[in-house]
Each structure stands twice: as structure tokens, then as C-alpha cells.
Amino acid sequence: MPAIRLEGVSKRFGKIAALQKVDFEMQDGEYVAILGPSGCGKTTLIKIIAGIWPPTEGRVFIDNRDITGVQIEERDLGYVFQNIILFPHMTVKKNAGYSPRVKGLTEEQIEERSRKAMDLVGVLGQQGYLPSELSGGAQQKASLARAIASQARLLLLDEPLSALDARVRVELRYALRRLVKDLGLTAIHVTHDQEEAMSVADRVIVMRKGEIVEVGEPTHLYDAPRNLFTANFVGESNFLEGTVDSIEDGKARIELRGEHYLTVTKTTVRIGQPVVVAIRPEHLSLQPEDGDNSIQARVEESRFMGFYTRCRLRAETGDELLVDLPTGDPAVEEGTDSFVCFNPDFILLYPRPVEGLGEALKLE
Amino acid sequence: MVSLRAEGLQKSFSGTVALNGIDLEVKEGEYVVILGPTGAGKTTLLRTIAGLARQDAGHIYFDNQPVDTLMPFQRGVAYLPQNYSLFGHLTVWENVAFGPTVQDWNPHRRDQIVREMLNLVHLSDRRDAHPRELSGGMQQRVALARALATQARILLLDEPLRALDARLRVELRQELRTLAKYLGITTLHVTHDQEEAVSVADRIVVIRRGKVVQAGSPREVYEDPSSPFVSNFIGEANFLEGILSRVDNNFSIIVLKDGRRLMGRPTSVPADSHVVLGVKTDFCEVQPGKSDAQNRIPGTVVRSLFAGKRKTLEIQTNIGLLKAKVPSDRSLSEGDEATLTFEPENGVVYSIPSEGLRVALEVE
């Protein structure tokens, strides 16, 4: 059963370090997403696990066996690419039966395996079609069927949904997770889409500039990211710079720009420390009057977004604040003043980064 | 600033109908998004308006003047194609100055415009860089500045964010709208991404198979979808088939196959018709155990997909698998007995589509 371990894996292309000493481990049956912006090294990482590229340094273990030098054909894995690669002259059924055929199974076994794989991913009805006759989503399902029919226990998904329409992507997310879990496969799924990563995976690895920034369960990464970059990349957040003014009863009073104050619970900061306050747009609310943990702000824009309404405000601290209100709450007029209330349970506090806040949050 | 009108546009490519009688109206300075799945005819529509493709039938007017016989450069449109390419050997400045230079503007005016455009897209400090030295998001901005530098009257954007990371798209889509509104330029933006459409548009025109299926404000197409397709394409919806047993001014009653009675909005569909009740997953709630809500469907949570702000619960019921998007702090997990509920005002009654519900909902 495939448990995977990477030890000190680095990869250099000439002078460029694509991966820098990456360590990580995953369990058999786990679904892990590798998430990060373009150029973060996520594709390099999955290609090294697949055996398409050798690492410059470090080792790769599958089931405690060092497979660093083993070729891709001998790694027993299913690989699904971003740019859907099917044999164009073969029908869906022939494509699905490719691996069993190469392995020299009997016609009966090939038939049974490809049929089962096509059924699982939902392309049985299109088994006689050529790839060119299928929509993008159906083509990607067919490549999934081919990967599954190989009966590999490890499925590597390299941006499998990126080439598809947004709406189709959402459908296939459900299908992917269902499939991996129902078959008890181990899966690694590379994506730049944080929502996709969170909805398919048991655990998400956030990468940036060739390094792992943070690893955690989706809810953990969203609710309590340990890192500023994660807080911004995995869902949107508001960030306000401040300084710790005082600490009492385990609560820190933070001074923001313009002598405004917020109280934050659960914290390990010290007095005088420069900090960044982070909070999700849905954890802010608007009130007509001043109250605890509130800052006055002017509504610059209010926009219907479906189940929520996104308000953009300019606070007295000078910061821009995004506030998401449930649609159906009383309408907020642009140009009016309001008080933005910070829910203390959801405020996150980070030491102010030495490289500057803008640099720490940069998306590319 | 000009208004734009298209009437009865038809266009076929060797037997394949791309535009099948499109009517479109865009007011001066309006930001309109053309939303539809791949193959709907979106790109053909833009190219026809730009003058890069000639319609087989129908007319296009700018400010009520027909432009059908005008060449692309005479139409005064800035067209940013999906696969734009910057001139690799030219600097950012030279790329943006390209249009004005070719059009032989006086150098003083040209430099002023280029400076202003670079300023608008926040690239003044990279004016001497070459495209390869820039990130994907920056290249996109250069392309936009180059398109705008010709002082066009209409901006046509074909999937302007498709090549970018998901998180970056969220930032840039906001910038696009801000820029277009600042310049007051009439804008048509094509996308397959309904969230992008809702977040930037004054008005959304949903097209499918070469036809306009609905046009309206983001709120209208979201809350009052005219067909099951639109209901499921902008957001996601559950569909419950049954017989419309009663309609009055305030509500309608639908009897499902299992005898369950559900209430929806009033409808013009005649009583006793075979109907489908569409309910957006955003408007479905899930309660643990039983519920005494008016509209309730009991079942079991079979899967929970976390997506940050919200999670999608899949509920297995005796009328099929239903979905609900609920705030992610709802403590419901896989295996729990639960009841899906929704308000009658969120149930929209449609006649059963003649082509069958499955075909009517196809998103690609």
C-alpha cells in the first residue's frame, strides 16, 4: 500500500532552484493537494514523485522503499495531466483498456477492467467515441478512467481540472473525491485553486518559492493559518498593521493606525511588538453605532455576489476592509458611514514580517 | 463612450452554427459580461463585434450607426483576445506605445497616453522590462494597457483572466472593473466563470448554443433564473420532479413521485403539468435529525466538501442525491441523519424541458 515519504528533495534547473529541501510524508489512502501559485514548485514536486524527473538531491520513498532512481513505468501509479492526453485514434474504451492490454491481460480481463473504470467515472455511455468527439470534461473523465484501469494504488493528478470551464470543474471535484475515496486510492493532486484544494483533499500542502509553507487539514488552513501567506492565498483576508499596546488577562490590546484599538484573545505576543491583524471578510459585520472592537469606516462599494454581498470600506485607520454580509441583510448604501465590528474569536495575529507585509502576501 | 447594439446575429462555420440569432444591447459605459460554457459562441460574438469575423446575417450598431462594413481598425474597439501575445523583443513601454505609433500619433500625445495607461495598470516602474521578465499577471496588465492605449471606444475582453492562478484572478477581476469604470469605457467581457461574471458585471448575458438564454443584472440571473440551465449554471441547483397540483397568487404546490408535497413560488405554468422545482444549493439549509419546516426532505449526509466560507453537503434522500451549501461551521458530518429544508420563495417551478432535464442542464 502506497505511503509516500520525501526526504530533503531539491531540484535545480541550471541556476534556478525549483525545490529546496522538501520533506513530507503521507499515509496510505490519503488524498493530499499540493497548492501554490505559478512557479512555486508544485509541478516539479509531483513530477519527481512520478519519476518523470529525478531530484537533484534527496530521496523519494513509496512504502518505505527508496524509489528515487526507479523509472515511471515501474512505479505503479496512475498519472493524469493538465493537458488531457488521450490516444486520439483510440475510442474511450480502447484508451481505458490501454494499461491492462500493455500488461498482457486476457481480452476478458481487459474488458472487465476498462468497463468498471468507465462506469466509475461515468463515461460508459461514451465508450465508443473518439476523444475528439467528447467535451473537455468527458475527455478528462476518460483519462481518469485510463488511470484507474491500470489498477495503480497511487493516483497523481497534475492540475487535472485547470483546462476545464469553471462550472465543469466544480462537478468534477465531487467526482474526483468520491472516486478516490470509494476505491481507497492514495492521491496527490496539484492545483493553484485554493477552493478546489480544500474541497477535494484530506490535507493540503501550501507551497511558495520552492518550499513548503504550511501543511494542514483544509478547515485548519482556512480557520487558523499559521502563516500570513496562507491566510491570504487560501481564501481572502483583511490585514491591518499594528503594535501590541498592552496585555491583560490573556487578551492583547492592539493599536492600529490613527490610534484605534482592537482586543484580541488567545495570543502569544509581547508588549511593543509590531503585529499584523488578520480577519476573514465574513467575520466582520457592520453596525450603525460604535461598540466594542469597532472601527468607523465609509462604504465605498457594495456588490451582490450571490449568497453574500461584498462591501468594500475605507476605515479610519486608512485600511481598506472587505466585509461579506449575508444577502438579505438590510442593504448598505455606498457613501454612508458605518462601524465595522471585529469578531474577537476570529481575529488572527501574526508578527509583522521582516520583508514587509506586501512582500509576505504577494501572489506571484 | 458609445452604446452597442447587435440584432439577429447569425454565423456558421462549415455547417456548425456559432451564433444563432443573437440580440444584444449595451449602454454607454456599461460593463456587460457574456457568460456561457465552452462552445456557446462567446468568442465568435466578440470577434464579430470587433470586425475580425463577418456575420452571415444581422447587424451591429455603435451609437445607432451600422458598423457592418467597417474594417476592424475603423471600428475603434480595443480587443484583447484569449491568447494575446506581447512583442517579446519590445519593452513594456514599447508594447503599450505600439498602437499609437502605428497610428502615427504625435509623440507628445503618444507618450502622455502610454504614461497614463502604465500608471493605471500599476506598471510604471516596469516600463523598461521585457515581457519574459514579468509574471503572468503583469503580462496580462501590459496587454490590457496596450489594448486601451489606442483610445478605443469599446473594450472587448475574451476570457481575460483564464491563464492566471485562481487567487490572482480574484484580485485582477476587481481591477478590471475599476479600470473600465474609471475610463468610462463600454465593455464586453467574455467568460465561462459565473463567479467572475457576478463580481464584475453591471449586466450578465447568458448564452448557450449560439443563443441568448437570459440577460439581466447579476442579482436577476441569480435569483430569478429563467430556465433550469441558468439556475444550475450560475451557482448550483437541486431539481425535484413532480406534478404541479395547485397554484395561487402566493405559492404553488408540487407533489413528488414519493407523494411528498413541496411549496414553491407562484408560477404561470398550468396546474397538473409535469414540472421540476429548481432550488439553488445556496438556498438550502440542512438541520441535524428531523425538522418541521414546510419544505423538508430527510436523508443522510454522505459527503461533506469544505470550501472555506461554506461547505457543500451531499444528502442521500429517497428522491436522490441532493446538495446544500451551508456555512462551514455547521457541525454535520458524513453519516449523520439530517433534513434538507428550503423556503418556498426559493423554489422556482419550471415545465419539464422538452429535451429532457439532463440535456437541458448540460454545462458543456
Beta strands in B2-106 (DSSP E): 4-13, 16-26, 31-35, 57-62, 65-66, 77-80
Q: For residue B199, which residues of chain A lie inside 8 Å, CB to CB?
A: 303, 305, 310
pLDDT at residue A353 tops 70: yes
Our measurement of the distance from residue A11's CA atom to the centroid of its chain's CA atoms, rounded to an integer in Å, reads 22
The pLDDT value recorded for residue A1 is: 59
pLDDT digit string (tens) for A101-112?
Answer: 988 999 999 999
Interface ipTM: 0.89
The per-residue pLDDT for B164 is 87
* Residue A210 to residue A40: CA distance in whole angstroms: 5
Residue range A159-169: mean pLDDT, rounded: 90
Predicted local distance difference test score (pLDDT) of residue B65: 96
- All residues of chain A having their beta carbon less than 8 Å from the beta carbon of residue B195 are 166, 305-306
Q: How confident is the model at residue B159 (pLDDT cuts 50, 70, 90)?
A: very high
- In this predicted structure, the answer to whether residue B245 has a pLDDT above a threshold of 90 is yes
Residue B14 is predicted with a pLDDT of 87
Domains and CATH numbers, chain A: 4-231 (3.40.50.300), 237-361 (2.40.50.140)
The enclosing H or E element of A61 equals: strand A57-62
**Residue from B171, B361, B363 whose CB has the most chain A CBs within 10 Å, to mutate:** B363
Average pLDDT of every residue of chain A:
92
- Statement: residue B150 has pLDDT above 90: no
pLDDT digits (tens, 9 = 90+) for B206-231: 999 999 999 999 999 999 999 999 99
What is the tens place of the pLDDT at every residue in B105-129?
Answer: 899 999 999 999 999 888 999 999 9
Highest mean pLDDT among A113-127, A136-150, B212-226: B212-226
Percent of chain A with pLDDT over 70: 99
pLDDT tens string B273-307? 999 999 999 999 999 999 999 999 999 999 999 99
Q: Which fold has domain B236-361?
A: OB fold (Dihydrolipoamide Acetyltransferase, E2P) (2.40.50)
Termini Cα distance of chain A:
37
Contact B363 A168 (CB under 8 A): yes
Name the DSSP letter for residue A331. P
Question: CA-to-CA distance for B14 and B146, rounded, in angstroms?
Answer: 34
What ranges do the domains of chain B cover?
Answer: 4-223, 236-361
User: Phi then psi for B6, rounded to 5 degrees?
Assistant: -125, 140
Do the Cβ atoms of B308 and A198 come within 8 Å? yes
Locate the chain B residue with the closest alpha carbon to A173: B305
Question: What average pLDDT does this structure show over A3-9?
Answer: 95
Residues 6+ apart with CB under 8 A from B320: none
* Of residues A173, A308, A364, nearest to B168 (C-beta): A364
Distances (CA, A) of B177 to A101, B153, B185, B305: 53, 16, 10, 31
pLDDT at position A267 over 80: no
Q: In what order do the strands lie in the sheet with B320-327?
A: B285-288, B337-342, B295-306, B310-317, B320-327
pLDDT at B272: 95
- B222 and A222 in contact by Cβ < 8 A? no
A134 secondary structure, DSSP code = S
Residue B45 has pLDDT above 70, yes or no: yes
Q: With beta carbons less than 8 A apart as the criterion, state whether B110 and B100 touch.
A: yes
Q: Domain B4-223: give its CATH superfamily.
A: P-loop containing nucleotide triphosphate hydrolases (3.40.50.300)
| Band of pLDDT at residue B256, cut at 50, 70 and 90 | very high
